[in-house]
Amino acid sequence: MGDLLKGGDAIFWFVVLFLPGFLSAEVYGMMVASERPDFSKDFYRAVAFSILNFAVFAPIVYYMNDRALFDDLLVAWVTVYVVFIVAPVGWAFLMKWLRDASWTPFLSCDNKAWDYFFRRREPVWVVACLNDGTKVGGFFAGQSYASSYPSDEQIYIQQQWMLGDDDEFLKPVDQSEGVLLNGRDIKTLEFYEFTG
């Protein structure tokens, strides 16, 4: 292990400076809505994650190598596992947690206000005003769904309701299994607190 750490072969440095970040970027991409993979952008993200990983673990690995701790094969394999698998996955979760934290709104994962609102998954009454002037009302809750970026906006409202003249919710539409609306057909969405 010592000879490997002192060596500068290209494969070793590729593994150290790219693969951990690539794993971090892939895991992060699965947790955060983003556009279709673009390797030119993901490459820089992977390198950034790898540099973070290297900066944290290089002193630790150097110390362990200097003390000949890698002579124990178990220690060597556990270190490799932690540095190249556990930590990179952990960086992705840490970044996602930071972006979701209320005290870091400038790092928000939400690409659109649509995503921000529907990610909260709160039950609400909703009135959709469509481009043709009609209105659709309903109850949005746990069985409802709203698409997220980068997909086109769509909303499934689990139960459609009849609306009165002042948009009051009168009663559920008979045998309603919900209503699906395309974002391009919606002019505005109005939300009202559900107190039930």
CATH of the domain at 155: 2.30.30.100
Domain boundary among the residues 107, 130, 163 is at: 107
Task: For residues 129 and 95, state if they share a domain.
Answer: no
Task: For residues 75 and 118, state if they share a domain.
Answer: no
Task: For residues 57 and 117, state if they share a domain.
Answer: no
Structure tokens that stand for 110 in this block = 């939400």
Each residue's pLDDT tens digit, 66-119:
888 888 889 989 998 999 999 999 988 988 888 777 776 655 555 677 777 887
Task: For residues 94 and 119, state if they share a domain.
Answer: no
Q: Are strands 159-163 and 169-172 parallel, antiparallel or unpaired?
A: antiparallel
Beta carbons within 10 angstroms of residue 57's beta carbon: 18
Q: Total domain count for the chain?
A: 2
**Phi, psi of 36, rounded to the nearest 5 degrees:** -55, 145
Q: Residue 104: its pLDDT value, please?
A: 66
* Percent of the chain scoring above 70 in pLDDT: 86
Domain boundary among the residues 107, 133, 166 is at: 107
Each residue's pLDDT tens digit, 115-157:
778 877 889 999 999 999 999 999 999 899 888 777 788 999 9
pLDDT: which is higher, 179 or 4: 179
Domain boundary among the residues 85, 107, 129 is at: 107
Nearest to residue 154, comparing CAs of 114, 113, 124, 194? 114
**Phi, psi of 75, rounded to the nearest 5 degrees:** -60, -45
Domain that residue 88 falls in: 2-107
pTM score, whole prediction = 0.58
Task: For residues 65 and 151, state if they share a domain.
Answer: no
Task: For residues 119 and 103, state if they share a domain.
Answer: no
Structure tokens that stand for 84 in this block = 């190249």
